[in-house]
Amino acid sequence: MRINRYISSTGYCSRRAADHLVEAGDVMINGELATLGAKVKPGDRVTIRGQILAPPSENQRVYLLLNKPPGITCTSRRDVPGNIMDFIDYPTRVFTVGRLDRDSRGLILLTNDGMIANRIIRARYGHEKEYEVTCDRDISDDMIRKMRTGVPILNTVTQPCKAWKTSARTFRIVLTQGLNRQIRRMCGALNYKVLDLCRVRIMNLSIEGIKEGMWRKLTNDELTELHRLVCAKEDHE
């Protein structure tokens, strides 16, 4: 993690202010003067003006994977019947990273980590989300080709994506953008009706092993890889 983001994640100050501290020579990593862009590894000791900076507390951050059943609405509003917060009933306040519409099912990430959420949601970072889709009639090769190259919906054309048939009436699609009800609208524009839509993957996170309606916490390996993927492009900006 870059030193400015490390300092900011502890709540000490903003990233910009952290850069000023580094430039002023007030920050040290393991006893050595920090430089702009320097990386902090787990176990490193960071000091600011001689005072040890307590590392960000990962224990206070929550990362949950839910296999959402149909009929549950991805909203934090408790007055909405069937809202996801009442469904998951987690004691710490969390929010969904992105959405699945009420009729869709599958993988939802819930967290209280705003940085992770924003980096996953923002389409310009190109993070993958994979879906399995069942249609009302046999899927043609031409339909798959059009899904891959782009479909006119919502006064735009969808970005090129990966798509492939898995059976006569089912296919998988990997998106890096998130237009409103995108897959259903794409299929509708090509005269197909979606009978079932299930998200099976968000980046490195898979629905495998999570029964519908159940949730679990991310493993340490999953969280480490998620942080790596989320932060990789930021480190090059």
- Which positions ≥6 away from 196 have C-beta within 8 Å? 105, 132, 133, 134
Q: What is the DSSP string of 82-118?
A: TBHHHHH--SS--EESS---TT-EEEEEEES-HHHHH
Q: Is 89 a residue of the active site?
A: no
Q: Cβ atoms within 10 A of the Cβ of 15, count?
A: 14
Catalytic pick among 101, 136, 142, 196 = 101
Q: How far apart are CA 212 and CA 69, in angstroms?
A: 6
Q: How far apart are CA 76 and CA 137, in angstroms?
A: 36
Q: How far apart are CA 236 and CA 168, in angstroms?
A: 42
2, 11 Cβ separation under 8 angstroms: no
What is Dmax (Cα atoms) for the chain?
68
Residues carrying an active site annotation: 101
